[in-house]
Amino acid sequence: MSTNAQQCIYTKLSKEHNFKISYILIKDTDLNNPFRTRKLTLTISNKKRKLIQQIKLNTNILYDDVFKKDTSSRSYITNFNTQADAPDYDYGDLIIADLNFDGKEDIALKFDSGGNGGPLYKFYLQNNRGTFDLSGYLTDYIGSFPANINSKNKTLTTQIHANVHQESRKTYKFNPQTKKWRLLKSVMIEA
């Protein structure tokens, strides 16, 4: 086994925070093994560079170009890169958006480059203390970054490849009183 360290700094995604992603790429010397494991650290600081939080995780399969440049990110808070294409439902490596409609910045962090359905994300919601908590529901049940975020209706809509001829479109609704999500609608559409 050999290791390779990388990092990328993101300063245009937030009005309040800067982000740094550092990772160690562990390469298996077995040339027949296509899988790459990364030990990833997301460092969150305020604009004055005071440390807010560090999130550490091991990623699944990620392509070699992930977390190499800040332009592979987007922010629905600062409108950075929001008009960029999302080929194969890839909205970026690090995405900042208000995902639970509470006016706070939340984080979507790519942890698996995925297959036909596109990449998978871990979702972290900002709490009242200003730190970020993993959202089990968004990570485990939604997984893909939403193609549509509707703050008026408090819905997230994902769209991914389901098979050769169809895509799956699912809409999830957030209830701000109970702080719970529910699947509102699931349809198959012609690709």
pLDDT in tens, 47-94: 999 999 999 998 877 777 777 777 889 999 999 999 999 888 889 999
Q: How confident is the model at residue 1 (pLDDT cuts 50, 70, 90)?
A: very low
pLDDT in tens, 94-112: 999 999 999 999 999 998 8
The 3-class SS string of the chain reads CEEEEEEEEECCCCCCEEEEEEEEEEECCCCCCCCCEEEEEEEEEECCCCEEEEEEEECCCCCCCCCCCCCCEEECCCCCCCCCCCHHHCCCCEEEECCCCCCCCEEEEEEEEEECCEEEEEEEEECCCCCEEECHHHHHHHCCCCCEEECCCCEEEEEEECCCCEEEEEEEEEECCCCEEEEEEEEEEEC
* Mean pLDDT of the region 132-159: 96
- Number of separate domains in the chain: 1
Residue with the bigger pLDDT between 179 and 6: it is: 179
Give the residue numbers spanning the domain of 83.
2-190
